[in-house]
Amino acid sequence: MSTDQTVSGGPFREAIRREGLDALWVSRPENVRYLSGFTSPADGKLLVYPDGATLYTDARYTVQAAEESRCPVFIARPPATFAHAAPLVSGLRVGFEADHLTVSELGALRAHWQVGERPATLVGSQGLVEGLRLVKRPDELAQIRAAQAIADAAFAAVRPGIVAGVREDRVAGQLEAFMRERGAGSAFDITVASGPRGAMPHGTASDRVIGEHELVTVDFGARVQGYHSDMTRTVAVGHPGEDLRRLYRAVLEAEEAAVQAIRPGARCSELDQVARDILTRHGLGDYFAHSLGHGVGLAVHEGPSLRGTSSEVLEAGMVVTAEPGVYLPGVGGVRIEDLVLVTADGHEVLSRSPKERL
Ligand code: ZN
Ligand code: ZN
């Protein structure tokens, strides 16, 4: 295990110093897991201070935390947690995760730490650990690959059953059962959106019965050892009309062009523009209602953000999605999403499920 994946790793300590901080209170679950290795991070918090780090969790996790955590563990519930930490942060500039900590949690930190002769100074911080998570280590990549391979196998098994007369939630249930049988969880609530429901970008599977000659959008992923995959396929049931086929072909063209443009040094905003320009040329730009994609890792949605306003630039080792979609209210929609690894000389598409040619 390399040192840089622990809280004592050079890049992490450097990032804390660069922010002008002495310590960091880590409360975002993915970040707690990334730094400590503790696999129930929603019930853990991590305090990183100049000469060490402590994982705080409660008595339900005494055994698990001792087995998993790379940091010393202190078993307590708040407010005993804050009281234990108070002397460790005395007089220090302590960062907290401003995008995650609740107002009441911040109040509790203030009440316990901004007191006494050498009060701590609490400073809101953004994206500090998330920045370290952008480029994946080989062991993280292996989990993402494993998750995507299970998702691809699930899709191959379930695809023949996506036919007229079947309920959307049955399709979702079959995908989820397949992944569970192979030891993976479902990365998020599975989208199965058929016919006019395809106009809802996040149309979680409903009790709607899939009809003849419809498009069905299926968006799902697997979770392996905390790491996720994310893929969307839109499939045809029967023979959808030419209008729907045109829609599908436009999205496929945009998706494939965006994937082809993924390489180190590519600007995320420009990748979004590649897909948007193609859909605009097809008269569909106004119906591409979201950004091109996002990073995937311990969170399904993480950095970098592939959107028009992003200033981020891709680097080798990042894992991102390209997922243009068009959504026509009352008619339906199409989205196609691939999971893509940025490699030293370009990219590798991790999602292998075939795409239909309509
Ligand atoms: Zn997705
Ligand atoms: Zn996605």
Q: Distance, CA 59 to ligand 2 centroid (Å)?
A: 36
Mean pLDDT of 151-179: 98
Residues 93 and 166 in one domain: no
Helix (H, G, I), strand (E, B) or coil at 98: coil
Q: Cα separation of 230 and 122, whole Å?
A: 36
Q: Cα separation of 255 and 288, whole Å?
A: 12
Q: Distance, CA 28 to ligand 1 centroid (Å)?
A: 22
Domain total for the chain? 2
- CA-nearest of 47, 42, 79 to 61 is 42
Q: Distance, CA 91 to ligand 2 centroid (Å)?
A: 43
Q: Distance, CA 323 to ligand 1 centroid (Å)?
A: 7
Q: What is this structure's pTM?
A: 0.95
- Answer whether 216's CB lies under 8 Å from 223's CB: no
Mean pLDDT of 10-24: 92
Q: Which residues share a beta bridge with 48? A: 24, 53
Q: Which two structure tokens, joined as six digits, stand for 131?
A: 């920045």
* H runs (alpha helix) in the chain: 10-18, 29-36, 62-68, 80-89, 103-113, 128-133, 138-158, 168-181, 242-260, 268-281
Q: Distance, CA 251 to ligand 1 centroid (Å)?
A: 15
Q: Cα separation of 195 and 201, whole Å?
A: 13
**Tell me, what's the pLDDT at 8?**
72
Mean pLDDT of 347-354: 98
Q: Which two structure tokens, joined as six digits, stand for 336?
A: 């196609």
The reply to whether 354 falls in a domain is no
Q: Which amino acid is at 38?
A: F
Phi and psi of 48, rounded to 5°? -105, 125
**Tell me, what's the pLDDT at 142?**
98
Q: How far is CA 332 from the centre of its chain?
A: 26
Q: Which pLDDT tens digit goes with each residue over 238-277?
A: 999 999 999 999 999 999 999 999 999 999 999 999 999 9
Q: Which pLDDT tens digit goes with each residue over 22-48?
A: 999 999 999 999 999 999 999 999 999
Q: Which one of 78, 105, 133 terminates a domain?
A: 133
User: Which position has the token pair 């918090």?
Assistant: 45
Residues 150 and 86 in one domain: no
Residues 123 and 149 in one domain: no
Ligand nearest to the CA of 220: 1
**Tell me, what's the pLDDT at 4?**
52
Helix (H, G, I), strand (E, B) or coil at 140: helix
Give the confidence band of 2 by pLDDT, cuts at 50, 70, 90. very low
Q: Cα separation of 88 and 68, whole Å?
A: 23
Ligand nearest to the CA of 234: 1
DSSP characters over 177-241: HHHHHTT-EESSPPEEEEGGGGGSTT-B--SPBPPTTEEEEEEE-EEETTEE--EEEEEEES---
Give the confidence band of 3 by pLDDT, cuts at 50, 70, 90. very low
Average pLDDT, the chain: 96
Residues 191 and 51 in one domain: no
Ligand nearest to the CA of 301: 2
Q: Cα separation of 140 and 154, whole Å?
A: 21
- Answer whether 55's CB lies under 8 Å from 68's CB: no
**Tell me, what's the pLDDT at 83?**
94
The reply to whether 355 falls in a domain is no
Q: Distance, CA 19 to ligand 2 centroid (Å)?
A: 30
Residues 144 and 129 in one domain: no
Q: Distance, CA 289 to ligand 1 centroid (Å)?
A: 14
**Tell me, what's the pLDDT at 6?**
66
Q: Distance, CA 291 to ligand 2 centroid (Å)?
A: 10
Mean pLDDT of 146-150: 98
**Tell me, what's the pLDDT at 202?**
87
Q: Distance, CA 27 to ligand 2 centroid (Å)?
A: 24
Task: Provide the 8-state DSSP code for 161.
Answer: G
Torsion sign, CA atoms 31, 36, 40, 42? negative
Q: Distance, CA 227 to ligand 2 centroid (Å)?
A: 14
Q: Which two structure tokens, joined as six digits, stand for 294?
A: 């996002």
Ligand nearest to the CA of 290: 2
Residues 128 and 142 in one domain: no
- Answer whether 275's CB lies under 8 Å from 324's CB: yes
Q: Distance, CA 172 to ligand 1 centroid (Å)?
A: 14
In percent, the amount of the chain with pLDDT more than 70 equals 98
Q: Distance, CA 173 to ligand 2 centroid (Å)?
A: 20
Q: What is the CATH number of the domain that holds 79?
A: 3.40.350.10
Q: Which pLDDT tens digit goes with each residue over 203-217?
A: 899 999 999 999 999
In percent, the amount of the chain with pLDDT more than 90 equals 95
Q: What is the dihedral of CA 218, 219, 222, 227, to 10 degrees?
A: 170
Q: Distance, CA 320 to ligand 2 centroid (Å)?
A: 8
Q: Distance, CA 47 to ligand 1 centroid (Å)?
A: 33
Q: Distance, CA 215 to ligand 2 centroid (Å)?
A: 19
Residue 7 has pLDDT above 80, yes or no: no
**Tell me, what's the pLDDT at 172?**
98
The reply to whether 358 falls in a domain is no
Ligand nearest to the CA of 221: 1
Q: Which pLDDT tens digit goes with each residue over 92-103?
A: 999 999 999 999
Full residue range of the structural domain in which residue 19 is found: 3-133
User: Which position has the token pair 């490699």?
Assistant: 343
**Tell me, what's the pLDDT at 318?**
98
Give the confidence band of 130 by pLDDT, cuts at 50, 70, 90. very high
Can you give the C-alpha Rg of the chain in angstroms?
Answer: 23
Report angle CA 28, 64, 301 to the nearest 5 degrees: 30
Mean pLDDT of 41-66: 96
The reply to whether 357 falls in a domain is no
Ligand nearest to the CA of 187: 1
Q: Distance, CA 337 to ligand 2 centroid (Å)?
A: 7
**Tell me, what's the pLDDT at 5?**
57
Q: Distance, CA 116 to ligand 1 centroid (Å)?
A: 49
The reply to whether 342 falls in a domain is yes
